[in-house]
Amino acid sequence: MPRLNRIIETALYVDDLERASTFYKDILGLEAMLHTRTLHAFDVGGASVLLLFARGESLRSQTSAGGTIPPHDGSGPLHICFAVDTNALSEWEERLKQHDVAIEGEMSWERGGKSLYFRDPDGHLLELMTPGIWPNY
């Protein structure tokens, strides 16, 4: 069987693309890579891409000279997790508090890793995770 190497893109669907982009740029410090009317893409650690789609705007196939992207969309609060260094977790906690982002949960895992949970403006559950949670992280 051929092997999957990693996840390249993660997508969230948002009600207000500009509001969501501001949150991810200004609070989480992500660098914008692409900005269209219906999609904003951000670099995450030089290894993956966060895609923010305007909810409902990708329900039709999108065709260009390069090919076709099938329809997709999502609703409800989704969950994504960002890897952070162990020694940076307290800095992240302070940064979130400075920007009035409520920390909804914290977890200390059996393997020694820790997680902080909070929400973006669209209610998606975001997690900051240190190493020591999964056997491969």
Q: What is the CATH number of the domain that holds 104?
A: 3.10.180.10
Residue-wise pLDDT tens digits, 13-22? 999 999 999 9
Query: Are 22 and 10 in a shared domain?
Result: yes
Query: Are 84 and 31 in a shared domain?
Result: no
Domain boundary among 47, 73, 99: 73
- Say yes or no to pLDDT of 52 above 90: yes
CB of 51 closer than 8 Å to CB of 12: yes
Domains in the chain, number: 2
Confidence of residue 64 (pLDDT cuts 50, 70, 90): confident
CB atoms within 10 A of CB 11: 17
Query: Are 63 and 80 in a shared domain?
Result: no
Query: Are 82 and 69 in a shared domain?
Result: no
Query: Are 96 and 38 in a shared domain?
Result: no
Query: Are 81 and 36 in a shared domain?
Result: no
pTM: 0.93
Residue where the block lists tokens 């207000």? 16
**Closest among 133, 131, 128, 137 to 111, alpha carbons compared:** 133
Residue-wise pLDDT tens digits, 87-128? 999 999 999 999 999 999 999 999 999 999 999 999 999 999
CB atoms within 10 A of CB 13: 22
Terminal CA-to-CA distance of the chain, rounded, Å? Answer: 24
> For residue 90, what are the domain limits?
76-137
Query: Are 51 and 84 in a shared domain?
Result: no
Residue where the block lists tokens 């920007």? 99
Tell me how far apart the alpha carbons of residues 11 and 47 are, in angstroms, rounded to a whole number.
Answer: 15
Domain boundary among 73, 98, 126: 73
Domain boundary among 73, 90, 117: 73
Query: Are 21 and 64 in a shared domain?
Result: yes
